[in-house]
Amino acid sequence: MTFTAVDLAQSLVALLLYVPLLVLPGFAVAALACRAPAGERPLDGLALAAALLPWVDSMAVRFLGLGPALALNLALAAAGLFVLLRGPRPRVAAAALGVFAGWTGLVLLLSVDIDWAGGLFQSGPALDMVKHAATVRSILDTGAPPADPFFARETPSGYYYFFYALPALAVRLGAGLIEPRAAVVGLTVWTGLALFGLAAMTMRATGLMAGIAPRRAALTLVALLFATGLDVAPVVVSGLATGIWPNSLEWWNDQVASWVGSVLWVPHHVTALMAGWIGLMLLALEAAAYERRTERVSPARLALAAVALASAVGLSVWVAFGAAMSACAWFGLLAIERRWRALLPACLVGVGSLAAAAPIMAELVANRAYGGLPVVLTIRSFYMWSVAVPPGMVETAGRFVLLPLNYAAEFGIFLIGTVTFWMARVRESIAGNEVARMLTVAAVTSLGLATFMRSAILANDLGWRVILFAQLAALLWTAHAIATAKLPLLRGSPGGSVARPTLAGWLLILGYLGIAYDMVALRAIRGEIFKAVQPQVTRELRTTYAWLNDHLPAGAVLQHNPLPDRVYDFGLYSRHRVGVADREAELFGAAREAVFARLRQLRPVFEGALPAAAVRAAAAANGIDYLVVSAQDPVWHQSGAWPWSTSPIHAGDHVRVIAVADLPPS
């Protein structure tokens, strides 16, 4: 059986394992949070479960262990099954099944390894999948908080790991049938479906669904979720001019990622959006109801709001920061308006969410090495301007002046849809409610944060992820404008026989072309991601790691060549810890100085500048038990170097594994 077939089979098994772990618990959660019967709106429950279970499962794993956490999920599944059997059965249209099947196929196509012609070809999302799979494996081995999978150290990782608890439970429930990577792929499929459920639920809660047929609203949302901005235009122009075609559409600028791209690459950030927004939405609903005195505050829904906001912290601190700032802005509006009664449930949720998030916040503080401020002030960069103008006051001022053009390129159809919606709202006094106002507050707040702040830890995850709130609002406003025909996509010819795209229609077409480019590029373009990767070596590395998984003790520490910009194979295929992953190994909280000190010590090991005894000393000093060397490493091509002077514990045509203890001591 090829590795492609193995990956496909494991991913499909993982997809099914989330029925008891995620889908059925969703019916139980929906029974607490929603007034409508859970069976009538199954995707509401899926979105709620995706938002709430990360906190529930992570706390259970942290304080009780994996076994009890799995039992808790299965108990929730039993409760959800009871709710489902007692209420109306979900009605699933054939078109919905078709969309789900197509989405599943797309995720699998862009996630599995292609085993072909003696080589193994990974796809673009492997860049982030290495982190996802390694974190799941670390939770399985060490519980929560997990050990640092990128840098061997005594303290656990200081990272937001809540998303990975559920895949760890899926691997445990699968009893050897699936690996961590397949568990993440399966959850990614359900995350995309839950995102649609969140959008539909929000349209109802904000009143944007009023007067729109449910089927029309659903089709509009699906059509927009598979679109993006105008990124394809600058990418194609640059590609034609330079001959360089990027692996991802988003890399030409400070990204506002497509929904498809965000779910594929960073499902934990998308899940954080769901958690943060559901917390804010429940908060607004309960505050408005309590203020009107139309009904009593629901302690269950207030608790769910607090848990959702705490869940967001453990899913993505950057997205949670946006939710917290949005809540503060909303609190300020209530205070200005002297709506003191509405502030009472808001304060209860705030205190509850802080208490629930206290464990992960304490871990993030204790287990990370901070070399400086994690967030700094900035003005969002615009690539085309920044490459043309040298750094300085003129370049900075230009970025500010060009912000409208920057966001027009990134949002595309969604900017036109937003403008159309708000023009109609002012002109026609479209009714809104407290949830609709919360959506606006979150959109404006997140856009401000993404524009004038950036994270200083590796990439700009703050600017790239906090803007998801603004993207959600733009998605819903655009869907409303299209579904109510305020933003037509087609217009008839003078004779009335031929329909032609309007400006909005052309923008939507460009959005689809962008997604098409991205999906093809992630598979077909090797580019910068895999520039130093040889497919034949990758295939043998996967085979080697499978052998090591079966033959080495669980606590063994391996070491590959960490010198390339990014390394993937250890996290995708290995069950063992590594001394240092690569130059971005500080991701999980290790001190940058310690990471680069270890890299400096190991550089001559894989470049061939050290005799075998010195290699042994360097490896032992860093707690390394086994060295994995491949034909991609410089030392491989030096006859008489340590890989060839020492008998390996495992060897192939392109990979050798040397036990450090077998190297000569002097």
pLDDT at site 527: 67
How far apart, in whole angstroms, are the C-alpha atoms of residue 99 and residue 591? 45
Instruction: Report which residue type is found at 110.
Output: L
Instruction: Return phi, psi of residue 659, to 5°.
Output: -75, 130
H-type alpha helices, 591-663:
592-607, 612-621, 642-645
User: Where is pLDDT greater, at 358 or 287?
Assistant: 358
Closest CA relative to residue 633, chosen from 641, 625, 623: 641
pLDDT at site 364: 93
Q: Which residues contact 601 (CB under 8 A, 6 or more apart)?
A: 618, 621, 622
Closest CA relative to residue 197, chosen from 22, 417, 377, 456: 22
How far apart, in whole angstroms, are the C-alpha atoms of residue 617 and residue 610? 10
Whether the upstream peptide bond of residue 88 has omega within 30° of 0, thus cis, is no
Q: Which residues contact 209 (CB under 8 A, 6 or more apart)?
A: 203, 217
Q: Which residues contact 645 (CB under 8 A, 6 or more apart)?
A: 612
- Is there a contact between 274 and 425 (Cβ–Cβ < 8 Å)? no
- Is there a contact between 563 and 603 (Cβ–Cβ < 8 Å)? yes
pLDDT at site 65: 96
DSSP 23: I
429 has a pLDDT exceeding 70: no
Beta-strand pair 557-559/577-578 = parallel
How far apart, in whole angstroms, are the C-alpha atoms of residue 478 and residue 553? 55
92 has a pLDDT exceeding 80: no
b/e map 601-611, b = 16+ CB within 10 Å: bbeebbebebb
- What is the pLDDT averaged over residues 446-463? 91
Q: Which residues contact 607 (CB under 8 A, 6 or more apart)?
A: 563, 634, 635
235 has a pLDDT exceeding 80: yes
Residues 230, 236, 237, 239, CA torsion sign: positive
- Is there a contact between 258 and 249 (Cβ–Cβ < 8 Å)? yes
How far apart, in whole angstroms, are the C-alpha atoms of residue 446 and residue 256? 12
Average pLDDT, the chain: 91
Q: Which residues contact 233 (CB under 8 A, 6 or more apart)?
A: 409, 510
| DSSP assignment of 471-515 | HHHHHHHHHHHHHTTSS-SEEE-TTSS-EEE-HHHHHHHHHHHHH
Q: Which residues contact 579 (CB under 8 A, 6 or more apart)?
A: 151, 152, 557, 558, 559, 562, 598, 602, 619, 622, 623, 624
**Choice among 110-114, 182-186, 336-340, 576-580 with the minimum mean pLDDT:** 336-340
pLDDT interval class at 83 (50, 70, 90) = confident
How far apart, in whole angstroms, are the C-alpha atoms of residue 351 and residue 187? 31
- Is there a contact between 484 and 492 (Cβ–Cβ < 8 Å)? no
- What is the pLDDT averaged over residues 134-141? 96
Instruction: Report which residue type is found at 577.
Output: R
pLDDT interval class at 459 (50, 70, 90) = confident
Q: Could you give the 3-state DSSP secondary structure of residue 620?
A: helix
- What is the pLDDT averaged over residues 466-470? 97
- What is the pLDDT averaged over residues 464-488? 96
pLDDT at site 35: 61
How far apart, in whole angstroms, are the C-alpha atoms of residue 60 and residue 71? 10
pLDDT at site 39: 56
**Integer Rg of the chain from CA:** 26
432 has a pLDDT exceeding 90: no
- Is there a contact between 413 and 431 (Cβ–Cβ < 8 Å)? no
Strand arrangement of the beta sheet that strand 655-659 belongs to: 577-578, 557-559, 626-630, 655-659, 650-651
The percentage of residues in the chain with a pLDDT greater than 90, rounded to a whole number, is 74
Instruction: Report which residue type is found at 107.
Output: V
633 has a pLDDT exceeding 90: yes
Cβ count within 10 A of residue 653: 9
Q: pTM score, two decimals? A: 0.95
Closest CA relative to residue 193, chosen from 10, 311, 42: 42
pLDDT interval class at 53 (50, 70, 90) = very high
- Is there a contact between 310 and 356 (Cβ–Cβ < 8 Å)? yes
